[in-house]
Amino acid sequence: MKRIVSSVLLISLIVSCLCSCANQKERYTETYLEYFDTASTIVGFEFDAEVFDKNCDFIEAQLEEYNKLYDIYKSYQDVNNIRTINKNAGKEPVKVDKKIIDLLDYCIELYKTTKGKTNVALGSVLSIWHDYRNMYSEDAEGAKLPPMEDLKAAAQHTDINNIIIDRENSTVFLSDENMSLDVGAVAKGYATEQIAKALEEKGITNYTLNIGGNIRTIGPKGDGTPWITAVSMSDIAGNGENPVKVELAGQAFVTSGTYQRFYTVDGVDYHHIIDPETLMPKFDFISISVCCADSGLADALSTATFNMTLEEGKTFINSLEGVEAMWITADGEIHYSDKFSEIIYEK
Ligand code: ADP
Ligand code: MG
């Protein structure tokens, strides 16, 4: 009798194990290198590889489209993009896709939220820094800083009110011929958010989009537990251990850092986030990570807080509902906003 009971138990254990295995979603990943000048990695949990592939095709098509529309450096056949708007500054309004109008509307709203610290109309100043970075990134010996008088002259042409949007005719006009748009601080995060929302509308869940460090999670992992993400550059001790990990289930997590785009002049690294007041990079931080529901907002805030002091940034982030941030200062200290501890993963 005892034997029969234990055999029955064993069989039911095997059956329930098989059932739960069949019910379990598998983890799949895909990476693209063609968009937004960075790597895009998609992780998703599905029962079926074909469903994952189909969803990736959808995501890739969207990435391709947003990348073309928001590009400031390249033109594409039959597409009016941000570069087309810049080329027509002071000349004529440019007919554009609604996705460009929506992005610029959002950027103008963010300019207000960030008190001007993230300004997409700063293109004339940013392009000077971009050119110097490109010119001297391989030439630490001869590297020079852009002359302050050039930066100041360019800064005369950064008024965000000169972006004239005509929603009815779907056109954008830059009314100052010397101004230009640079959407680098927001476009990646904004596009990521739009793609994530489109996936959510299709009922898709258990995915993470990581578009060059702009992380947007869609639901938790396949087993219902949160995604665990190591904060890039929190390994400041350089010992391969990442002391800060966060748990995400549906939110965005975006990091801006000084370590990817910079050039060196007289032994000093000049990075790519420029304070609109001083027209120079600030040297207070190595990285700032922002967590909130919306990846476009997180992207803009991680750039904006770079242009604030630690105290200003903390007060600013703590004043925003549902937004948390983590700062790594130049001397390696880690600071958190008031409720950041709620998303820290502790083993
Ligand atoms: P990344 O895109 O490298 O992850 P960010 O989101 O912080 O980093 O964006 C940095 C980019 O934003 C710069 O390369 C530049 O194009 C643009 N940028 C730099 N400073 C500002 C600023 N004060 N306001 C708006 N855009 C900026
Ligand atoms: Mg940003």
DSSP 38: S
CATH 3.10.520.10 fits domain 24-347: yes
pLDDT single digits (tens) 25-48: 999 999 999 999 999 999 999 999
In tens, the pLDDT along 82-122 reads 999 999 999 999 999 999 999 999 999 999 999 999 999 99
* Ligand 1 atom nearest 274 alpha carbon: 20
- Map out the domains of the chain as residue ranges: 24-347
Arithmetic mean of pLDDT, 67-82: 97
List ligand 1's pocket residues with C-beta within 6 A: 118-120, 122, 126, 182, 184-185, 188, 213, 256, 260-261, 272-274, 276, 299, 302-303, 307
DSSP conformation class of 76: B
Distance CA 115, CA 343 (A): 27
User: Comparing 125 with 23, which gets the higher pLDDT?
Assistant: 125
Q: Render the burial of 78-102: b for 16+ CB within 10 Å, e for the rest.
A: eebbbbbbbebbeeebbebbebbbe
Over range 141-147, report the average pLDDT. 94
> Closest ligand to 272 CA?
1
- Counting atoms of ligand 1 from 1, which one is nearest the CA of 117? 23
| Length of the chain (residues) | 347
Structure tokens at 104: 């610029």
**Top mutation candidate among 72, 126, 186 for ligand 1, by most atoms within 8 Å of CB:** 126
Q: Judge contact between 174 and 86, C-beta under 8 A.
A: yes
pTM: 0.92
